[in-house]
Amino acid sequence: MFKKILLTLFLISSVFSFSQTDTSNNQQNKKIELLNKKVDSLISEQNGVKTKILEERINQATETITNQSSMISSFGTLYTVITIILAFIGVVLPILTYQFGIKPSRDALKEFEEKSEAKFNNFLKERRVKEIDNAIENLKSEDNHIRNNSLNFLTYNSHQGLNEDQVLKIINIINNNNDENFLVQLLGCIVNEKNENLKKYFIEYLNTSQEANSTMYYCLKFFSYYNYSEYKNELKIFISNNNTSTALSIIFSFFPKNNIIDLLNDHNIIDILSSDALTFVHGYNFGKSNISQWNMSEEDYEKTYLYERLKEKFTPVN
């Protein structure tokens, strides 16, 4: 019985003790839970503060980066503008320098050179004209030394050309002088001038000359500048008056090559050639020995009236 009472008391004590322990554990759990909540709250607050600080720093960094980007962009724009301005200056400045500095100077210099050259050339031309006029005037001198010096001067300078008045003065001197050597040298000074007064002089020579002299050479040389039709009638008169092998030798030797075909086909002239003249031209092969100096081919020569006439006259009759 006593044991039962003790056992009952033990059980009640155990239950009571367990009940108190359970109650204590519940209180502790509540405290722990409360502490956890406070800790979580503190952690949340700290995280919120950190997040806020981090956001502020990020915003500051973003603002700083934006400001720096704007500044860099501004510098880039400024650099671009400066580069464009410098490039523009680099391109435009040389052009402006050339247009308003170098080109006007060059144009002015070129104009000065042209004017200077023109003035200098005019000076030389006027001086040469005066020297030639003076030399022509001295050709009339009675002093042989002065006359010969003037003739030499004209001989070495006539290639530069003479004006019409100078040519006419020389022709007048020729017409009033009988020294053939002197006249021939004067003709050599003016023969290259295509001048109407000189043409009249040589036409008159062909019409009136009774002798084939040195003047005939200059006459034929002068007419090389003209068409054959302009002097063929006068040439016919000359050959009629000088129908000799000597005259024909001069004519065929110095006749203008550009007119030789016209001469060899001129019936009016070939038909008046004397027998001696034809014999001279014929030689031994119908005149073919002359074609080299006439710059003709044998084929072209055989088509001429002269060849036909010589062949007709000198072909042996069977």
- Each residue's pLDDT tens digit in the chain (318 positions)? 555 565 565 555 554 444 444 555 566 666 666 666 765 666 666 666 666 776 676 677 677 777 666 666 666 777 787 888 877 777 766 776 766 667 676 776 677 677 777 777 787 788 888 999 999 999 988 888 998 999 999 988 888 888 999 999 999 999 988 888 888 999 999 999 989 999 999 999 999 988 888 899 999 999 999 999 999 999 999 999 988 888 888 898 889 988 999 999 999 999 999 988 899 998 888 999 888 888 889 999 999 999 999 999 988 866
Distance CA 10, CA 5 (A): 9
Q: Which of 59, 81, 111 is the last residue of a domain?
A: 111
Angstrom CA distances, 78 to 73, 84, 132, 298, stand at 8, 10, 77, 91
CA triple 223-227-230, angle to 5 deg: 80
Shared domain check, 200 and 107: no
Q: Look at residue 15 and tell me if it is in a domain.
A: no
Q: Look at residue 307 and tell me if it is in a domain.
A: yes
Q: Look at residue 209 and tell me if it is in a domain.
A: yes
Q: Which of 111, 138, 165 is the last residue of a domain?
A: 111
Instruction: Find the Cα–Cα–Cα–Cα dihedral 122, 124, 129, 135, rounded to 10°.
Output: 170
Q: Look at residue 3 and tell me if it is in a domain.
A: no
Shared domain check, 311 and 207: yes
Shared domain check, 201 and 98: no
Shared domain check, 200 and 310: yes
What total of structural domains would you count in the chain? 2
Q: Which of 93, 111, 129 is the last residue of a domain?
A: 111
Q: Are 239 and 251 in contact (CB under 8 A)?
A: yes
Backbone angles phi, psi at 20, to 5 degrees: -65, -40
**pLDDT given at position 38:** 65
The domain in which residue 200 lies consists of 194-318
Q: Look at residue 317 and tell me if it is in a domain.
A: yes
CA-wise closest residue to 236 among 281, 201, 266: 266
Shared domain check, 318 and 208: yes
Q: Which residues contact 246 (CB under 8 A, 6 or more apart)?
A: 212
Angstrom CA distances, 36 to 28, 33, 39, 49, stand at 12, 5, 5, 19
Q: Are 212 and 244 in contact (CB under 8 A)?
A: yes
Q: Look at residue 128 and tell me if it is in a domain.
A: no
Q: Look at residue 184 and tell me if it is in a domain.
A: no
Q: Look at residue 208 and tell me if it is in a domain.
A: yes
**pLDDT given at position 202:** 95
